[in-house]
Amino acid sequence: MYKFLFLIFSITQILFAVDAEVDIVRKTNIVPNINIVVTGNSIDNALADKVKKVLENDLTVSGHFNSENTIINHQSIDTKFDFKNNINMKSHLVLLLEVKEVHRGLTIDVVLEDASNIVPRHKKTYTISDIARYPFLAHKITIDINKELNSPPIDWMDKFIIFSKYTSAKRSEIVIADYTLTYQKVIVSGGLNIFPKWASSDQKSFYYTAYDGLYPTLMKQDLYSKRVEKIIHSNGMVVCSDVSKDGSKLLLTMAPNGQSDIYEYDLEKRTTQKITKYTGIDVGACYLGVEDKIVFVSDRFGNANIFSQKIGTDSVERLVYHGKNNTQATTYKNYVAYSSREEHGNGFNLYLISVDNDGIKKLTSQGANQFPKFSFDGESILYINNSHGNSSLGIFRLNYGKHFLFPLKGGKIQSIDW
């Protein structure tokens, strides 16, 4: 059974390993310069520099700021910043930070000053009890500064990333992290634990597939209480690829009779409905639109490709007509992002389409870019980049046409969600 499970995983990895009217445009042509200044009253300079680094990264990734790094001395958060005497600075905005460690926790006083304003634009104290989670404190500061300047929301920065990483042969861990991978915490270890999926948008619990010695089993774990519940097991494989918005139903890939199909599982009734009935491989379904349809990957035309199907019917529609190995689809409303193996070379790149028209947009151009996941607001795509034997977490900012990579130190990312 164990060998058969890995055979199925290997098959799916091999098979599935222009303007589209999608409004990929910048929302503003004015990007202000901002300088982050750590005050002389900050107690731990090393920690303050780490916070500053995360903030600079956040501001750049947002697409709404140019982070300037002019070295400036400023002693106290309570003293107004002197723009006139800092003539080497190109910024009209200064973010003053005063970082203090208190009882293993962290306190950061923040003042945002604008050269054209007499009073600060933003003044607030941020605290966190666990100093290791300082990246999330930095993300909260960035989100608030962004709101103060009325820029498009970037609330996704404060969300947990959950991923599985291989640690050795037939062993993996499930980890939660911030999107930069600066903060990481192992939450499931021991054995083979793969394909984590958040159970709801509040990120209080998650599903994952574990191999318990007899069957691959879908587990649900509470992030905080650590309570674990067995949901369903199946011969061959069982993977949760999507959760309905109200959290009541799951889209599962299962292979009870040797070939994988898509099932919808009702958590309240504890019943499964088989959606696809193809004799080959159907995997990785996501809800589409108002959740009456699914998008999934199938080899029904000989090569892996992207299809849609209305739940409760047998009518299947092909969505992609380029490439010979199109895999790992993700959806947001009527948009679909997927990974496609390039015809020349071994690279996988991400593409974006709308089911409402025939347009297509290429998002990446180098490396092996796989497992795309839309942010909850649909403005960013998370993905895995494998290059030169190393794994990185990628973020593609759709409205700005820019992508950023954050390398994983140790291990290889197997799958990811946010």
Domains of the chain: 2-17+163-417 (2.120.10.30), 33-151 (3.40.50.10070)
CB proximity list for 102: less than 8 A, separation 6 or greater: 127
Q: What is the pTM for the complete model shown?
A: 0.89
φ and ψ at residue 5, rounded to 5 degrees: -55, -45
From CA 380, how far away is CA 406, in angstroms rounded? 15
What per-residue confidence (pLDDT) applies to 3? 42
Compute the CA torsion angle 193, 161, 126, 28 (nearest 10 deg).
180
What stretches in the chain show pLDDT beneath 70?
1-29, 87, 212, 345
Token pair for 203: 């990120």
Q: What was the pLDDT predicted at 288?
A: 96
Determine the angle formed by the axes of helices 134-148 and 45-62, rounding to 10 degrees: 50
pLDDT value at residue 81: 87
Read off the tokens for 407: 């390398």
- CA 208 to chain centroid, in Å, comes to 16
pLDDT value of residue 25: 33
Residues contacting residue 262 through CB under 8 Å, at least 6 positions apart: 251, 252, 253, 274, 275, 276, 282, 283, 285, 294, 296
Triad 417, 217, 306: Cα angle to 5°: 50
Instruction: Confirm if 413 and 389 have CB atoms less than 8 A apart.
Output: no
Which pLDDT does position 258 carry in this prediction? 83
For residue 207, the cross-strand partners are 197, 220
Bridge partners, 128 (sequence order): 106
Question: pLDDT of 120-174, one tens digit each?
Answer: 889 999 999 999 999 999 999 999 999 999 999 999 999 999 999 999 888 899 9
Per DSSP bridges, beta strands 93-102 and 33-38 are parallel
DSSP category for residue 157: G
Rounded to whole angstroms, how far apart are CA atoms 409 and 414?
14
What's the pLDDT at 265? Answer: 98
